[in-house]
Amino acid sequence: MRVFICAFSGFSLAIPMRSVSSLTLHEHEAAQTVEYNMENRNTYVSLPHLFSLPSELIRHGLVLKSLISGNGDREDGNIEDDNIIENKIILLTTEVKCETEIPGEDIFPIPKTLGTIRFSALFNGIRFDTNDVSDTSGKPILFLNTGNLVQIIQKEAAA
Q: What is the pLDDT of residues 56-73, one digit of tens each?
A: 889 999 999 975 433 344
DSSP string, 78-102: PBP-TTS--S-EEEEES-EEEEEE-
Residue 12 to residues 47, 57, 74, 84, Cα–Cα distance (Å): 12, 15, 31, 29
Domain ranges of the chain: 2-158
pLDDT at 143: 93
pLDDT digits (tens, 9 = 90+) for 78-119: 444 545 678 899 999 998 999 999 988 888 887 765 655 666
pTM score, whole prediction: 0.80
